[in-house]
């Protein structure tokens, strides 16, 4: 996790949207159609943010203030706030309105250096609204320079209407939502919030198995609020990643070590909810590779700023800047099955790059947190 190969005084040749060659300036090709001078800055791969919820109708700053006054996130959720609050508001928003606000968020995070991003549904919680969210994500895929993966998260919360009859809602997810989402090709993955007060292990297993029948692989929310069995059920269903892991024990760490599932930690969620951080230091020390993502959403992490996220990961999880860097680049790429094309600067990979202002080192970039170190962002070979 801590190895970052670097070159000094180098060139990189881009053709169309692909890196064609990398070398020392001593052997720079004598001509190119267009030359971009990094002017003493560093060239980094753009960030790969493998877990976000950027399609939403409203900010929830009222709940934030309630939490500052002492009401807990779980209490707010139990009282119909939280995800259900977002779902109620989203139902009255048109696809166009949702697209515009999500596109603005996406454009903002691109300027922070994000080049590939996963986006979830999950604030719809009805067939119609879940499809509406996924169609917004499809439009973002069509119109943004960022590479986007889409995740169906119908099992984000139990709608109020089904509190006393949760199996009826799960039947809708399995019999109506998943088949329709799959037949319209609207999602790459299926997610479930497997945690205390949300979906049980048995419910999660049922939903993931139904999704797998339609070719939707699992990427799940697990162990944010409690040791929930989420890691186990994710691994058993060959999840690409299990995300959150604020509440994780040795048993889960051992299981992750012998699986292909990528543990993904979300430090800005811990920062913002003022909860325990996932034990990322211990996980890395035990030999696990981890991805780090923003979880950008209106309730638990209203920020998609990866440079700031790296500062949280280093300061509060005690990661080295190089470890945080690998977590938000190559490992984030693998957590979206984009490891062959994204997440590092290599010949044959997508020309998704960040040019920084002159900085002495990667360590400095994380150390001087909150400053804007990014000068330019290049996606698909073009400055955006």
Q: Which residues contact Fe ion (rule: CB under 5 A)?
A: 295
269: contact with ligand NIG by CB under 6 A:
yes
Provide DSSP, 200-265. Answer: -HHHHHHHHHHHHHTTPEEEEEESSSS--SHHHHHHHTT-SEEEE-SS--HHHHHHHHTSSPEEEE
Rounded distance between C-alpha atoms, residue 252 and residue 48, angstroms: 25
| Shortest CB 154 distance to Fe ion, Å | 14
271: contact with ligand NIG by CB under 6 A:
no
Q: Among ligand NIG, Fe ion, none, what binds residue 193 when CB lies within 5 to 8 Å by partner kind?
A: ligand NIG
Q: Among ligand NIG, Fe ion, none, what binds residue 117 when CB lies within 5 to 8 Å by partner kind?
A: none
Buried b (16+ CB within 10 A) or exposed e, 298-322: bbbbbbbbbbbbbbbbbeebebbbb
Which CB, 279 or 298, lies closer to Fe ion?
A: 298
295: contact with ligand NIG by CB under 6 A:
yes
Q: Among ligand NIG, Fe ion, none, what binds residue 299 when CB lies within 5 to 8 Å by partner kind?
A: ligand NIG
> Which residue sits closest to ligand NIG, CB atoms considered?
299
299: contact with ligand NIG by CB under 6 A:
yes
Quick one: which of 68, 111, 58, 29 has its CA closest to 273?
68
188: contact with ligand NIG by CB under 6 A:
no
Which CB, 223 or 326, lies closer to ligand NIG?
A: 223
Q: What is the DSSP letter of 160?
A: G
From the list 28-36, 37-45, 82-90, 350-358, the region that binds ligand NIG by CB under 6 A is 82-90
For β-strands 18-24 and 291-292, DSSP reports them as: unpaired
Residue from 45, 82, 230, 343 in contact with ligand NIG (CB under 6 A): 82
331: contact with ligand NIG by CB under 6 A:
no
Neighbours of 74 (CB within 10 A): 16
Which CB, 49 or 295, lies closer to Fe ion?
A: 295
- Compute the Cα dihedral for 118, 124, 130, 131 and give only its sign: negative
Q: Among ligand NIG, Fe ion, none, what binds residue 86 when CB lies within 5 to 8 Å by partner kind?
A: ligand NIG
From the list 24-32, 81-89, 210-218, 278-286, the region that binds ligand NIG by CB under 6 A is 81-89
Rounded distance between C-alpha atoms, residue 25 and residue 377, angstroms: 22
Rounded distance between C-alpha atoms, residue 166 and residue 37, angstroms: 58
Applying CB under 6 A, the residues found at the interface with ligand NIG are 82-83, 86, 193, 221, 224, 269, 295, 297-300
């Amino acid at each position: 996790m801590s190895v970052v190969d670097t070159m000094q005084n180098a060139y990189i040749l881009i053709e169309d949207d692909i890196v064609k060659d990398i070398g020392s300036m001593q052997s720079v090709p004598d001509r190119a159609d267009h030359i971009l001078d990094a002017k003493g800055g560093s060239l980094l791969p753009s960030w790969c943010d493998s877990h976000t919820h950027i399609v939403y109708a409203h900010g929830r700053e009222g709940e934030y203030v309630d939490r500052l006054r002492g009401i807990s996130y779980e209490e707010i959720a139990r009282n119909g706030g939280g995800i259900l609050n977002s779902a109620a508001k989203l139902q009255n928003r048109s696809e166009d309105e949702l697209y515009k606000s999500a596109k603005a968020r996406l454009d903002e995070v691109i300027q922070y250096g994000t080049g590939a991003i996963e986006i979830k549904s999950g604030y719809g919680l009805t067939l119609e609204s879940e499809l509406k969210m996924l169609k917004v994500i499809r439009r973002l895929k069509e119109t943004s320079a960022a590479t986007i993966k889409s995740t169906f998260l119908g099992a984000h919360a139990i709608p109020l209407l089904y509190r006393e009859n949760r199996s009826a809602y799960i039947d809708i997810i399995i019999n109506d939502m998943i088949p329709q989402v799959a037949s319209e090709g609207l999602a790459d993955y299926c997610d479930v919030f497997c945690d205390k007060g949300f979906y049980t292990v048995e419910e999660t297993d049922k939903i993931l198995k139904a999704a797998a029948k339609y070719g939707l692989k699992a990427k799940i929310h697990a162990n944010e609020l409690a040791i929930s069995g989420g890691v186990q059920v994710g691994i058993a269903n060959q999840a690409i990643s299990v995300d959150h892991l604020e509440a994780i024990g040795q048993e889960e760490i051992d299981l992750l070590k012998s699986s292909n599932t990528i543990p993904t930690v979300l430090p800005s969620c811990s920062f913002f909810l003022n909860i325990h951080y996932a034990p990322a230091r211990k996980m890395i020390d035990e030999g696990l590779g981890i991805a780090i993502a923003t979880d950008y959403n209106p309730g638990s992490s209203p920020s998609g700023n990866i440079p700031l996220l790296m500062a949280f990961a280093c300061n509060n999880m005690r990661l080295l800047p190089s470890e945080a860097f690998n977590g938000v680049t190559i490992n984030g790429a693998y957590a979206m099955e984009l490891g062959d094309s994204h997440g590092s600067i290599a010949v044959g990979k997508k020309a998704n790059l960040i040019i920084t202002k002159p900085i002495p080192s990667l360590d400095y970039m994380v150390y001087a947190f909150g400053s804007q170190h990014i000068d330019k962002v290049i996606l698909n070979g073009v400055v955006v």
